[in-house]
């Protein structure tokens, strides 16, 4: 099993995009890239800790490769928006890739190059160290799956997940719905 850390705005969207994706065994929301250990959601949302909302993805490299994982990442969010995704504004919503080794760093840079041709605006996704990584509070785990009718989920998360699941339908487990 391998591990990848990605931040693409609200972690509910990114987590949902990787749930039930063939080869992904776990997608868990968390925080990384900040200057304090073990921040709370409230601290991260204040923008004062330097953390990004991220998702830790555990995957089987024999089933899904980094290139495909990055394809999903660049589809589920807009990597051209600096420190925001739509109405979610702040450094905690930045588009970031936190590679854990040289192979991931190279694959991340290759993906950014590949997707630069897809977007008309420049990609602002950062490549940074996963400093002070921590898992988010339990109530954030599977948030969209447990709250699909909540306002933000219905208006923002749902449409993003529909786009990803439509674009990559062949990669989702048959029961992904």
CATH of the domain at 153: 3.30.1060.10
| Tokens representing residue 33 in the block | 């890239």
SS3 133: coil
What residues are labeled active site? 10
Overall average pLDDT of the 118-145 stretch: 97
Q: What is the pLDDT of residue 174?
A: 63
Domain, as residue range, for 59: 2-135+142-169
Q: Which of 114, 135, 139, 174 is nearest to 28 (CA)?
A: 135
Pairing mode of beta strands 52-59, 84-85? unpaired
In a domain, 157, yes or no: yes
| Segment 61-82 mean pLDDT | 97
Give the residues across from 65 on adjacent strands. none
**Is it the case that residue 128 has pLDDT exceeding 90?**
yes
- Tell me the mean pLDDT in the region 86-101: 96
Strand partners, 88: 85
**7 assigned to some structural domain:** yes
- Counting the structural domains of the chain, the total is 1
Is the per-residue pLDDT at 173 higher than 90?
Answer: no
pTM here is 0.94
- Tell me the pLDDT tens digit for each residue of 99-110: 999 999 999 999
User: With the C-alpha atoms ordered 20, 154, 166, 11, is the resulting torsion angle positive or negative?
Assistant: negative
């Amino acid at each position: 099993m391998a591990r990848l850390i990605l931040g693409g705005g609200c972690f509910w969207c990114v987590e949902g995009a990787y749930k039930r994706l063939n080869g992904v065994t776990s997608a868990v929301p968390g925080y990384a890239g900040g200057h304090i250990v073990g921040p709370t959601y409230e601290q991260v949302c204040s923008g004062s800790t330097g953390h990004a909302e991220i998702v830790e993805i555990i995957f089987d490299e024999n089933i899904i490769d980094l290139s495909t994982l990055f394809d999903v990442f660049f589809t589920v969010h807009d990597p051209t928006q600096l420190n925001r995704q739509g109405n979610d504004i702040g450094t905690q919503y930045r588009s970031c890739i936190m590679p854990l080794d040289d192979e991931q760093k190279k694959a991340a840079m290759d993906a950014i190059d590949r997707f630069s041709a897809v977007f008309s605006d420049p990609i602002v996704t950062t490549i940074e160290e996963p400093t002070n990584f921590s898992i988010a509070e339990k109530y954030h785990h599977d948030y969209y799956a447990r709250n699909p009718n909540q306002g933000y989920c219905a208006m923002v998360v749902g449409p993003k997940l529909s786009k990803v699941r439509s674009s990559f339908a062949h990669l989702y487990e048959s029961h992904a719905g």
